[in-house]
């Protein structure tokens, strides 16, 4: 007589529940990462402008605000950008956090960092 092998029904249900749990968390976090890609694209577009080295802080803010309005960037505003000067011109840094509510009182905190010198 051979012993039966395989997954029990309870094991199958637990496995499916785990997969669904991970998928739901992933789906809730994807928009934050997509917005971060838009922020990086906005910074790269600012840095690629021919007049970037001569841009003032106000010009950089205006350029970022235009791109943010088009790409629907809500997690960071132009006033939150860190603008410093280097030998090669201005360096624009976007460093911010996004809190993603997962379920109930559980949230995920994601730190993002992007700069024009990367």
* 24 in any annotated domain: no
* 2 within some domain: no
Residue 69 domain flag? yes
Give the 3-state DSSP-derived string for 52-116, with helices as H, strands as E and coil as C: HHHCCHHHHHHHHHHHHHHHCCCCCCHHHCEEEEECCEEEEEEEEEEEEEEECCEEEEEEEEEEC
Domain holding 66, by residue range, is 30-115
Give the percent of the chain with pLDDT over 70. Answer: 99
pLDDT tens for residues 14-47?
A: 999 999 999 999 999 999 999 999 999 999 999 9
Please indicate, yes or no, if residue 97 is contained in any of the structural domains: yes
Q: What is the mean pLDDT of the chain?
A: 92
| pLDDT of the residue at 118 | 62
| Whole-number Å distance between alpha carbons of 58 and 48 | 17
Q: Is residue 8 included in any domain, yes or no?
A: no
Residue at 4 is within a domain: no
Q: What is the pTM of this model?
A: 0.83
Overall number of domains in the chain? 1
Q: Across the chain, which distance is largest between two alpha carbons, in Å?
A: 84
18 inside domain? no
Residue 13 resides in a domain: no
């Amino acid at each position: 007589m051979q012993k039966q092998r395989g997954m029990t029904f309870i094991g199958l249900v637990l496995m499916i529940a785990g997969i669904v749990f991970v998928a739901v968390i992933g789906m809730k976090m994807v928009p934050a990462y997509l917005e971060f890609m838009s922020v990086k694209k906005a910074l790269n577009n600012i840095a690629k402008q021919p007049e970037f080295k001569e841009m003032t802080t106000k010009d950089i803010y205006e350029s970022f605000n235009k791109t943010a309005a088009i790409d629907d960037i809500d997690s960071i505003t132009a006033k939150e950008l860190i603008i410093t000067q280097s030998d090669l011109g201005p360096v624009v840094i976007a460093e911010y956090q996004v809190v993603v509510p997962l379920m109930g009182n559980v949230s995920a905190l994601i730190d993002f960092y992007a700069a024009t010198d990367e």
